[in-house]
Each structure stands twice: as structure tokens, then as C-alpha cells.
Amino acid sequence: MRILVANDDGYLAPGLAALADRMRSLGEVFVIAPESNHSGASNSLTLTRPLSVREASNGFFYVNGTPTDCVHIAMTGLLQQRPDLVVSGINNGQNMGDDTIYSGTVAAAMEGYLFGVPAIAFSQVEKGHAHLDAAAQVAAEFVMRFIRDPLPSPILLNVNIPNRPLSDLRGLRVTRLGKRHQSEPVIRATDPHGSPIYWIGPAGVAKDAGPGTDFHAVENGYVSITPLQIDLTHCGQIEVVEQWLQRGSR
């Protein structure tokens, strides 16, 4: 079992080390991560400059690029053999609902999925790494289960783990993504030279957080598992737009 481990928080992040350590008992592990924090990088690829891959003293590889760059490089040139599984995380903070659109953690997993490799993104719900050991244990058990009994490929799973001791986690729940309210407003200030500057604010709080959602599961102490797909086609609106076009041509 060859396991590719990546993240978006950067190669020095505690969540990456915790995940990689646990994966070592399950297979041959290769770790590649961004040199610096790229939370919110989504699926961006660096196309305007070449990228360097360097090896840290602990054997982790790091790239002066995005999470997607990391997995892309590994898949398309760096690794001799394609991995059997891509895992990403453990992110410092939740990736639920609309977060998945912006998430570099999910994007790193998604890049594996795009290459046909099963992929799992892991995030801790609260920032600050509380109970990271428990989250890593959950991730290890989850991956072990997947190796024993693989789901049909292609598969992309988004896993969010409440920051609790193992004994306080209530189990696993399969969920759908919830929905957030609009983001908090941007923070406007003035730089030392008198020009306006803007600092993007935090994501909005949960709006659709009812039973069945990722928000609801973690709120109730469960590990949330959401199967994701990439096709953004809104099938329900194809007919609507079709009819709208026909009206215009009259």
C-alpha cells in the first residue's frame, strides 16, 4: 500500500506529522506539502513560475507552491509509482459546507481523485490541535478500514473530526455538506502610506446545519464523512436555461 500524504497548512504543521506518523504502520508513506501555509488556496495550480521540491530533515518533501501543486507534481513526475491512496490533513480547522470550495486540504485530496486515486481529506473541527492524537487515531482506523474493505473507485471523502478525546467521540456519520451564511465583511484599514487595505474576514456561521449535514454530525460529537463529487453542473437548471434561450431567440 503506497500512501501519499499532503496538506495545505504547510510541511511544518503538527497535523501533517500526526497523520504521516499514523500512516507509516499502514503502508509505504510519501509526504509532500507546501512550504508555507496555503489554507484557502482551493485547487490553484502555479503556472507562472517553475517549482522547487526540497526534502526536510524528517524526510518530508516540500514545495514552494500550493497543495494542488504538491499532489500534481507527485502524480505526474516525482513518484516512480502512483500511490494507492491520497490522504490530506489533518487540517487545523474544519472544512464543512461551503468551506470545501475554498479548502486547500480538500483540494490536495481532490487532485489525487482527479488522477483516479482514492482520496480522503481529514480536518479537525476546531483550530489549535486539541486532541490531535485522537484525530490521528480516527484517521488511522478509517484508512485501515478502507484498506481492508475498499470503496468502489473513484472516491473522494471529506472527513471532519470533533476535537475530543477518543472516548468522547460518538462514532462515524455519513453526511451531506451543510451551508453557511455569507462570509463576515472584509476588514478595511489604511496602510502606513495612506492607501486603503482590505483583509478578508472569516467564513459565515452555519445556516443549513440540520440533521444529515456535516455541521449537525460534528455538533453532536460524531465524525462527519461526506462523499464529494466535482461536477458542478446544475442539472436541474439545464431545462430552465434552455427555455430561457429559446424565449430570447423569438
Site for Mn ion in 24-53 (CB under 5 A): 39
Residue 99 interacts with Mn ion (CB under 5 A): yes or no? no
Binding string to Mn ion for residues 195 to 214, with x set by CB under 5 A, is what?
A: --------------------
Which CB sits closer to Mn ion, 126 or 242?
126
Residue 91 interacts with Mn ion (CB under 5 A): yes or no? yes
Cis peptide before 90 (omega within 30 of 0): yes
Closest to 6 measured CA to CA, from 82, 77, 99, 112: 112
Residue 95 interacts with Mn ion (CB under 5 A): yes or no? no
Q: Give the long-range contacts of residues 52-60, CB within 8 A, separation 24 or more.
A: 53/78, 56/11, 58/17, 59/31, 60/11, 60/16, 60/20, 60/31, 60/32, 60/33
Using the rule CB under 5 A, which residue among 9, 98, 99, 214 binds Mn ion? Answer: 9
For residues 232 and 248, give the distance between their C-alpha atoms in angstroms, rounded to a whole number: 25
Residue 8 interacts with Mn ion (CB under 5 A): yes or no? yes
Smallest distance, Mn ion to C-beta of residue 110, A: 14
By CB under 5 A, the count of residues binding Mn ion is 4
Which CB sits closer to Mn ion, 39 or 226?
39
Q: Which residues bind Mn ion (CB under 5 A)?
A: 8-9, 39, 91
